Amino acid sequence: MRLFIAEKPSLGRAIAAGLGNVEKRNGYIECGQDVVTWCFGHLLEMDQPEAYDEKYKVWRKEELPILPGTFNASVRKDAVVQMKIIGKLLRDAEMVVNAGDPDREGQLLVDEVLEYHDYAGFCERIWLAALDDKSVKKALTSMTDNSDYTGLRDAARARAQADWLVGMNCTRAMTLKGRDAGSQGVLSLGRVQTPTLALVVNRDLAIENFKPHPYFTLHVEIIHEAGSFTGTFQPLDTQKGLDDQGRLINPDEAYRLKKEVSSQAGKILEAYKEKKKKNPPLPHCLSSLQKAASSKLGMGAKQVLDVAQALYEKKLTTYPRSDCRYLPEEQFDEADSVLAALANVSGFEQIAGNTDCSIKSAAYNTKKVTAHHAIIPTGETPSNLSADESALYRMIAQIFCIQFYAAMEYEAQKILTGINHTVWKSTGRNILNSGWTAFIREQEDETAEDQILPEVHQNDGITAGQVDIKSQKTKPPARFTEGTLIEAMANIHRFIEDTEAKKTLKENEGIGTEATRAGIIETLKARQLIELQKKKIISTDLGRQLVKMAPEVLTDPVTTAQWESRLSGIVDGNESLSAFMTDQTTQVPELVKAIFDLQLDPLPGTHLCPECDRPLHRQKSKKGAWYWACFNQDGHAKPVFLNDKNGKPDLTPKKKIELSEHKCRACGKPLVKRESKKKGKGGKNNYWWGCSGFPKCKQTYFDDNGKPQFTEKKENNNGF
């Protein structure tokens, strides 16, 4: 028996359909001599610290760092039955096929199931970039030895173990340290999560600290015998009244220029024309799809991933977690059948029906294809799609169709005009052939002006017409959306000043991966470090506190980019899992020490202990009542407890306890006269007496005319 183990049921069903002779069973499908079963993502999850030792249940500084000698994993509670089914099938299998998704996590999640069951037989690997019948049958004839992908498995394992070490240790250390500054909750740190959060926080602070200032742009009508056109003032190096960005900010200078240029004669300094082509944008990878769908459809990053995954499982599009926008040249001959199928889809009759299959766009470049190719339609006919699925499918299909249209051809035009010792620039573009832009509005060159400039020559005379002054204000950077944050994570090098660091980040394609970036954003939202306001991402107070307190090494995106570089080295065989993890177990203690060495000022809004000026912490009793406490043993011998008053500690001075001359009969300590909360007869207050040794001694006495009532115990018959 040959046993296929798929990553998920939908993938298993697609493989079974490709094998034929389908007979469904409980947890698997029989296909003649073959059997297909499946996982539900990772069936095993890494153990929590307390699974290694009970002492880790309580977070303590002295227990850090936690460095397991061997990492253990346990079967998820909701996967126990399926794991048993797989184990039983493995005992009868003569050969196994790893049918995980075509990425490193897909490789690991099947390999770790085989390891869990101590399977030592032969195993092959099937690589499925698409789930349509044609792609599945083709993949079934081109399987390879699973051992060829040990690097992929080890890279996934290295990522998981290193993330565990950093996440568990640094989160505990930061949370414990944060309490010294008044932080009340868990302060979560992670190698991708934290630099991503820092991106958002830094952008928000830049916006809030931004101080707009006015500037002026000048535009003149230039009159030439061949026609009139508009020129924009270009300040020279000697121009007065400019800011550090070369913008004119002096209004007096702006009006002086207007007066000196209006109606004056001038000449053409330079006339430039060049024929250019603009190729269609490449097919989508996941991050470009997330950015486009966020902008045009208002969809969140995770929503795009989920919908793209649904389209993949419905066999309509190829594998969604791709970081590549290119296609294998070997697939070029298959395009005509896909386009023919799209021509029958409602709304695509024109764009797909007028394609030219002889055009081979720049997208077809095998050398630039990574582990996956771009996301494209498979040629299967869509039906019963949700509104989101339909919209995203059309976005994917449309950009695929325009690969088979001619490039947009245009004439780029530029004219420099001199008027009374000033220079004015005019740009234009004359469309010669709209090509693919007839179907998709061009958005990548929003600065291009649509004016068509007349035929002029150098030294031609002109006359300046009216000069218009436009008063504008500098603008802060835009807040992130989920789409633009995904793009920023993928192109993090744009936010870095250091040349070498910028190069490292660019080579490693940013922080996170196509498969994980949406999840990182969801994690930040779930942990209340960021929030959405009208589809804009805003950092919360907790998020800002965390970035402010976290060590720079964890907010610096170069750190995680270097990780990704080494993980890629493990995939390629240039790096080993053991060497990578050895370095992590060396670096994590240094990270923990760096966190505990931080000098933190009390956070804004922190309430301080009245006895030692250390932050108070709000806690809930077993009965559900809130109170405030300080356990600083260096500042006072006993813990300080304060009542909660409307979410704040009640700092009202307590009445001074007056000790009486009467002694407690149980422990000998002075008694204290106390007023009862209940009123006695006639509305009078009643009193009682308690021991000043409370809470160790809980002895109480009734009041007898202003004195404690000591009741003598009767002696028994034996005289005791």
What six digits make up the tokens of 475?
């603008």
CATH number of 2-142: 3.40.50.140
Residue 685 confidence (pLDDT): 66
Residue 509 confidence (pLDDT): 65
For 119-178, the pLDDT digits (tens) are 999 999 999 888 888 889 999 999 999 999 999 999 999 999 999 999 999 999 999 988
**DSSP H or E stretch at residue 274:** strand 265-278
Mean pLDDT of all residues in 34-63: 95
Residue 717 confidence (pLDDT): 38
From CA 49, how far away is CA 63, in angstroms rounded?
Answer: 11
Residue 515 confidence (pLDDT): 79
Residue 718 confidence (pLDDT): 35
Length of the chain: 720
Mean pLDDT of all residues in 463-481: 95
pLDDT at 714 exceeding the cut of 50: no
Mean pLDDT of all residues belonging to the chain: 90
User: Half-sphere exposure of residue 69, counting CA atoms within 13 Å on the CB side?
Assistant: 1
Residues whose CB is less than 8 angstroms from the CB of residue 257 and which lie 6 or more positions away in sequence, other chains included: 218, 233, 422, 467
Mean pLDDT of all residues in 173-202: 88
From CA 689, how far away is CA 707, in angstroms rounded?
Answer: 8
For 606-616, the pLDDT digits (tens) are 888 888 888 88
For 46-57, the pLDDT digits (tens) are 999 999 999 999
Ranking 377-391, 434-448, 510-524, 670-684 by mean pLDDT, the lowest is 434-448
User: Among candidates 13, 43, 168, 167, which has minimal Cα distance to 105?
Assistant: 43
Instruction: Report the DSSP pairing between strands 2-6 and 95-99.
Output: parallel
Residue 712 confidence (pLDDT): 56
pLDDT at 219 exceeding the cut of 90: yes
Residue bearing the bigger pLDDT, 385 or 498 = 385
Based on the residue annotation, tell me whether 215 is a catalytic residue of this protein.
no
Work out the burial of residue 331: count CB atoms within 10 Å of its CB; fewer than 13 is exposed, 13-18 middle, 19 or more buried: middle
Report the CATH fold assignment for 286-404.
Topoisomerase I; domain 4 (1.10.290)
For 490-526, the pLDDT digits (tens) are 888 888 776 766 776 666 667 888 878 999 999 999 9
Options 215, 319, 326, 405, the catalytic residue: 319
pLDDT at 4 exceeding the cut of 50: yes
Q: How confident is the model at residue 683 (pLDDT cuts 50, 70, 90)?
A: low
Ranking 9-18, 214-223, 429-438, 487-496 by mean pLDDT, the lowest is 487-496
Q: How confident is the model at residue 571 (pLDDT cuts 50, 70, 90)?
A: very high
Mean pLDDT of all residues in 233-239: 91
For 611-653, the pLDDT digits (tens) are 888 888 888 888 888 998 887 767 777 788 888 888 889 888 7
Residue 448 confidence (pLDDT): 44
User: Half-sphere exposure of residue 665, counting CA atoms within 13 Å on the CB side?
Assistant: 9
User: Half-sphere exposure of residue 573, counting CA atoms within 13 Å on the CB side?
Assistant: 4
For 300-356, the pLDDT digits (tens) are 999 999 999 999 999 999 999 888 999 988 889 889 999 999 999 998 999 998 999
Q: How confident is the model at residue 602 (pLDDT cuts 50, 70, 90)?
A: confident
Three-class SS of residue 422?
Answer: strand
* Distances 533 to 354, 428, 480, 530, 540 between C-alpha atoms, Å: 42, 39, 11, 10, 11
Report the CATH fold assignment for 214-279+408-473.
Topoisomerase I; domain 3 (2.70.20)
The residue assigned the tokens 């980019």 is 561
For 78-110, the pLDDT digits (tens) are 999 999 999 999 999 999 999 998 888 999 999
* Burial readout 226-259 (b: 16 or more C-beta within 10 A, e: otherwise): eeebbbebebeeebebbeeeebbeeeebbeebbe
From CA 189, how far away is CA 507, in angstroms rounded?
Answer: 25
Mean pLDDT of all residues in 527-543: 92
pLDDT at 563 exceeding the cut of 90: no
Work out the burial of residue 639: count CB atoms within 10 Å of its CB; fewer than 13 is exposed, 13-18 middle, 19 or more buried: exposed
What six digits make up the tokens of 303?
């929503």
Mean pLDDT of all residues in 184-191: 86
Residue 606 confidence (pLDDT): 84
Helix locations, 316-458, DSSP H: 335-342, 349-353, 387-401
Task: Answer whether 428's CB lies under 8 Å from 229's CB.
Answer: yes
* Distances 402 to 182, 238, 362, 444, 652 between C-alpha atoms, Å: 57, 48, 12, 15, 73
Phi-psi region of 671 (alpha: psi -120 to 50; beta: other; left: phi over 0): beta
* Distances 219 to 222, 233, 668 between C-alpha atoms, Å: 9, 6, 96
Mean pLDDT of all residues in 230-234: 96
Ranking 73-77, 142-146, 239-243, 709-713 by mean pLDDT, the lowest is 709-713
Which residue ranges make up each domain of the chain? Answer: 2-142, 159-208+478-596, 214-279+408-473, 286-404, 607-654, 655-720
| % of the chain surpassing 70 pLDDT | 95
CATH number of 159-208+478-596: 1.10.460.10
